[in-house]
Structures are given as C-alpha cells and as structure tokens.
C-alpha cells in the first residue's frame, strides 16, 4: 500500500514515523505547505499530484478543518483511492456525502482516530452495533479539556497556563476554542451516535457548554463536597429521537470518569446484551492518534472494505426529558433560576432537577448578563 499523506503537523509526523518502520505500507507523497527537505518521501503543494499518481492507492487526511480537506478527500474518493482520516469535523459534517462517494467509487473510508485518539472506540462501537441494540453512550472524549480539568483538580493552576501546556504537548486543536468550548466533543458525539444508533444528528441541535468559565473557586466548592468536575458528552436513543448534549458534570469518587488523568479519555456504551463497556486510553497526542490512523491502514490492507455504518436516518435531538440537578454560578438574577434554586453552595446554587433543554436555554440568558457564568450537571 502506498499512501498520499495530507498534512504534516502533529499527527502527520506521527503517521510518517510509524510507517517508516513498516515494509507493507509506505508514504509516497506528502502534501504540505511547508518545506520538508529532510523527508525521504516526495513532497508537493498540489493535491493534483497525488490524485494523478496511480501508485498511490490510499490517502491519509490529517490536515484538520473542513476546507480544503473536504475537497481533497472527495477528489481522492472519486479517483477510487481509499481514505483514512483523523478529522472529526470533516466526518461529523460530511459523514453521509463521503460515505456515499466511497460506495459509488469502490473506495474505503475509515476514521477511527477521529474519536478517542488512540482508543479503538469506533471500531468496537461498530462491532457492538452489528449484534446489539445500543441505548446510550457517554464519557470523556477530549484530551485537552481533561488535561486542564485534571490539573485544576490537583493543584491551584492557572487555566491559560495549563491550556498552553496542552497546546505544547500537541493535544489542542489549532483553534483551542474547539476544545474548551466543547465543539470538538460535540463532533465526536455526533459521529459516535451515528455509528451506535444509525442516526444523523445536526450540529446546531446538540447543545454544548464547555469549561472556559470554570474557576478555582468552583473547583474548591466541588472538592469540599467530594466531587470532581469533568466535561462529558452524552447521547441516549429515545423511541424516535436522541437526547444528546455536552456539558461539565460533577462526579462522585465512585464514578470511573472522576479518576481519568491527563489527556486520557474514557468512553462507554450501554447495550442490551453486552451491558456497559468502557474504553480508556490516550485521547489526544501525536503517536496515540497516529496509531489509530495506521490501524485503519492495516485494516484496509488486510481487506476491510466498509465504513462503520451505512444506516443513516435523520433524527431529531430532544433534551426535554433528560432531567438532572445543576450547579449554577452566575451574577445574573433571573426569576426562572430563582424558582429552581434548591441549595446554596457558598455563592452558587444547586437547582431542583430540570431538563437539559430548559437549563441550556436559561444558560444563554445567564451568559448575556454575566459572560463568566458556569453550570455543571449533577
């Protein structure tokens, strides 16, 4: 197998290094805007060189972003070349189109590294969905935010300093807002829900609140009550819709997620026969992510000829029935919030059980008045 490698950043370099040790899969050409004089592979700035090369049968897209990744991947599939990508934004946004193109042109599309970095999550979700009814999936799906929350839980560190460290370690997205505001996790949740439930959720329907506003004082309040804060994605299959959302959650010491350190992810599904299964590993970083890219290449080389699912049904997101209490810290004085307040936590409140839909709508009002407001599910 000879590949065209699109992108030579953190993950691209990792893929290149791992493949340099193999004889069965080699890098033919690297597409990169920078000068990469030290490489033994050919380099180009023109995707047409890769498309036109009959020796390149598979393209690895690790550039990130929607454009030109979508155009490049589409061109590769139309030319009958297999595609392996780690790009969750691309897979979330263009899941159906790309899968359709792959089918039409007899190519294979895989993207295991797009969710959970080095964890074999999507491949196992695919295996579970083919024999079992998956009801629920949830967990920690972002290495950067877990790294930040873990550091803030362990010592009195500055949010910006820890984020900078996560960027230096190659965990964060080019725009770290994708991590800390939860968009990266939302995309991973939508891809996972697609594989698990055979549904297509729309990005604009899945509410997201990240950890940008969490403060040292919030963490002290949680610790005083034996709780740990983690950014969690959840999706549950309902009869004709899906409850799906991303928000910080307060966990007791008995929750597996509470103990997840550094850049690790822990993602679980619950199904009828298998019960609950959890997958733990490094969710971000050069070699863990590159490892799953190379696993996909090895799968294709050994004859895997499909994507994870081709059962796509549009499904509405419905968070009206997902009820729990919330920790709320805001300077906004809203009558709806006062009506829900049940406990005072030294300057913050804990609400009565309220739906995710209602709380995320209330949150928008809070943020208009106090942009530093913070909420976490309990």
Bridge partner residues of 44 (DSSP): 31
Q: At closest approach, how far in Å is the CB of 141 from ligand HSE? A: 7
Question: Which segment (63-71, 140-148, 149-157, 228-236) binds ligand HSE by CB under 6 A?
Answer: 140-148
CA angle (65 as vertex; 64, 70 as ends), nearest 5: 95
Active site residues: 188
Closer to ligand HSE by CB, 56 or 69: give it.
69
Q: Do the strands 374-377 and 326-329 form a parallel or antiparallel pair, or are they unpaired?
A: antiparallel
Question: Which segment (141-149, 151-159, 226-234, 350-358) binds ligand HSE by CB under 6 A?
Answer: 141-149
CA angle (56 as vertex; 53, 59 as ends), nearest 5: 115
Residues 6+ apart with CB under 8 A from 338: none
Cα–chain-centroid distance for residue 330?
Answer: 28
Q: Establish if 207 lies at the interface with ligand HSE (CB under 6 A).
A: no
Tell me the site size for ligand HSE, rule CB under 6 A. Answer: 11
Per CB under 6 A, contacts with ligand HSE among 265-294 are: 283-284
DSSP 217: H
Say if residues 260 and 158 touch (Cβ distance below 8 Å). Answer: no
Q: At closest approach, how far in Å is the CB of 142 from ligand HSE? A: 4
Q: At closest approach, how far in Å is the CB of 372 from ligand HSE? A: 23
Q: Establish if 144 lies at the interface with ligand HSE (CB under 6 A).
A: yes
Say if residues 230 and 257 touch (Cβ distance below 8 Å). Answer: yes
Q: At closest approach, how far in Å is the CB of 192 from ligand HSE? A: 12
- The residue of the chain with the least Cβ separation from ligand HSE equals 144
Closer to ligand HSE by CB, 76 or 284: give it.
284
Buried b (16+ CB within 10 A) or exposed e, 270-307: bbeeeeeeebbbbbbbbbbbbbbbbbbbebbeeeeeeb
Buried b (16+ CB within 10 A) or exposed e, 72-109: bbbbbbebebbbbbbbbbbbbbbbeebbebbeeeebbb
Q: At closest approach, how far in Å is the CB of 36 from ligand HSE? A: 23
Question: Which segment (138-146, 156-164, 229-237, 340-348) binds ligand HSE by CB under 6 A?
Answer: 138-146
Closer to ligand HSE by CB, 222 or 264: give it.
264
Contact string (CB under 6 A) for ligand HSE, positions 233-272, x = contact:
----------------------------------------
Per CB under 6 A, contacts with ligand HSE among 63-122 are: 117
Cα gap 325→225, rounded to integer Å: 15
Closer to ligand HSE by CB, 183 or 307: give it.
183
Q: At closest approach, how far in Å is the CB of 179 from ligand HSE? A: 5
CA angle (96 as vertex; 49, 113 as ends), nearest 5: 65
Per CB under 6 A, contacts with ligand HSE among 151-190 are: 171-173, 179, 184
Q: At closest approach, how far in Å is the CB of 64 from ligand HSE? A: 9
User: Of the candidates 142, 186, 351, 373, which one interacts with ligand HSE according to CB under 6 A?
Assistant: 142
Q: Find, among 258, 274, 289, the residue nearest to 116 by Cα.
A: 289
Q: Establish if 295 lies at the interface with ligand HSE (CB under 6 A).
A: no
Say if residues 37 and 44 touch (Cβ distance below 8 Å). Answer: no
Closer to ligand HSE by CB, 89 or 237: give it.
89
Closer to ligand HSE by CB, 179 or 218: give it.
179
Query: Quick one: 312 exposed, middle or buried, by C-beta within 10 A (0-12, 13-18, 19+)?
Result: middle
Q: Find, among 95, 130, 135, the residue nearest to 115 by Cα.
A: 95
Closer to ligand HSE by CB, 56 or 284: give it.
284
Site residues (vs ligand HSE, CB under 6 A)? 117, 142-144, 171-173, 179, 184, 283-284
């Amino acid at each position: 197998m000879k590949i065209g490698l699109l992108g030579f950043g953190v993950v691209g370099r990792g893929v290149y290094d791992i493949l340099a040790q193999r004889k069965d899969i080699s890098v033919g050409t690297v597409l990169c805007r920078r000068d990469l004089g030290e490489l033994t592979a050919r380099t180009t700035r023109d995707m047409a060189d890769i498309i036109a090369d009959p020796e390149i049968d598979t393209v690895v897209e690790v550039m990130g972003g929607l454009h030109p990744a979508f155009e490049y991947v589409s061109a590769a599939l139309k030319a009958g070349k297999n595609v392996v990508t780690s790009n969750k934004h691309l897979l979330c946004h263009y899941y159906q189109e790309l899968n359709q193109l792959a089918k039409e042109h007899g190519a294979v599309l895989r993207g295991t590294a797009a969710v959970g970095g080095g964890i074999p999550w999507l491949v196992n979700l695919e295996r579970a969905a083919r024999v079992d009814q998956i009801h629920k999936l949830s967990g920690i799906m972002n290495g950067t935010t877990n790294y930040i929350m873990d550091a803030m839980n362990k010592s009195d560190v500055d949010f910006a300093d820890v984020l900078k460290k996560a960027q230096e370690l190659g965990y964060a997205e080019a725009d770290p807002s994708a991590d800390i505001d939860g968009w990266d996790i939302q995309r991973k949740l939508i891809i996972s829900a697609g594989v698990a439930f055979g549904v297509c959720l729309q990005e604009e329907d899945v509410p997201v609140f990240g950890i940008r506003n969490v403060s040292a004082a919030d963490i002290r309040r949680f610790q005083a009550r034996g709780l740990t804060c983690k950014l969690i994605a959840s999706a549950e299959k309902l009869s004709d819709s899906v409850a799906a959302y991303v928000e910080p959650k307060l966990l007791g010491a008995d929750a597996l997620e509470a103990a997840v350190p550094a850049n690790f992810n822990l993602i679980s599904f619950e199904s009828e026969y298998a019960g609950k299964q959890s997958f733990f590993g490094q969710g971000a970083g050069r070699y863990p992510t590159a490892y799953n890219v190379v696993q996909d290449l090895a799968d294709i080389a050994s004859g895997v000829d499909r994507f994870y699912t081709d059962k796509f049904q549009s499904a509405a997101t419905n968070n009206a029935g997902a009820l729990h209490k919330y920790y709320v810290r805001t300077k906004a004085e809203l009558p709806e919030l006062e009506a829900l307040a049940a406990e005072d936590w030294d300057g913050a409140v804990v609400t009565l059980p309220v739906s995710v839909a209602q709380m995320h709508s209330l949150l928008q009002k809070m943020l208009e008045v106090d942009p530093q407001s913070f909420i976490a599910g309990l």
